[in-house]
Amino acid sequence: MIAVVINVAMILAGCALGLMCSHLISQRLLATLTQVLGLCVMGIGLSSLVKSQDMLCVVVCMVVGALIGYVLDIERQIERLGNVMRRRLVRGGGAQTAHGFTEAFVSASLLFCVGALTITGAIEAGLNQNYEIIISKGVIDGVTAVSFAATMGPGVAFGALPLFLYEGGITLLAGLVGPYLPELVLNEMSAVGGVLIVGLAINVLELGQERIRVANLLPAMFLPIVYVPLTQWLGGLFTWPWAL
């Protein structure tokens, strides 16, 4: 868990720096930094996506995950959590402040939690006590937090809370279930996570006419755990008679 704590500390340090320096940065420069950040986020997502060895797995998991997320309405629950935290921890401000805080919290939570580095780093830390991946991710998150906090405000800092729970939970569970997850499953989970990150980048860059509700797609990331062994079993079932 020490690596997870370091990751969170780097995010908080980056947020503090971003908030302190935000008044020194012009709005034009902040807009440029946001665009650059969005492009970098998209690059991270695409780099994870291209590692997929089964694009059908990515498509099926995304569709099924979207249906699950739609029923559970995960994004609205996250927004409600963000609003509760804002009301308790942020005083003053009107509707625009509320929207900005919630948007920052949701975007930061997704960006920090979703991705190949989060999964692989947490599992590696849990299995082999190798913290290099998570610490490297912490450096990236810290730099990202500077720009996000400067452009979106203090809501970004609270994105470290779901990261601590999510990444810490995976780290603790990795020692129990990690040995039973094949490498193919991890690759496809990372690839699906890459799609989600691309969706987040589209929101940051404001490329779509309507904002993508990325949080509702989160269940897709865990579906390869079911999809991969199921398709392997079905493949063996249909090819078995011909092997006689």
Q: Which residues contact 224 (CB under 8 A, 6 or more apart)?
A: 57, 61, 185, 188, 189, 192
- Nearest CA to 212 among 224, 200, 221? 200
Q: How many CA atoms lie within 13 A of 182 on its CB side?
A: 11
Confidence of residue 9 (pLDDT cuts 50, 70, 90): very high
The DSSP code for 212 is: -
CB distance 85 to 77 below 8 Å: no
Q: What percent of the chain has pLDDT over 90?
A: 11
Q: What is the pLDDT of residues 178-231, one digit of tens each?
A: 677 788 887 888 788 888 888 878 887 888 778 888 888 888 988 998 999 898
**86 confidence band (pLDDT: 50, 70, 90):** low
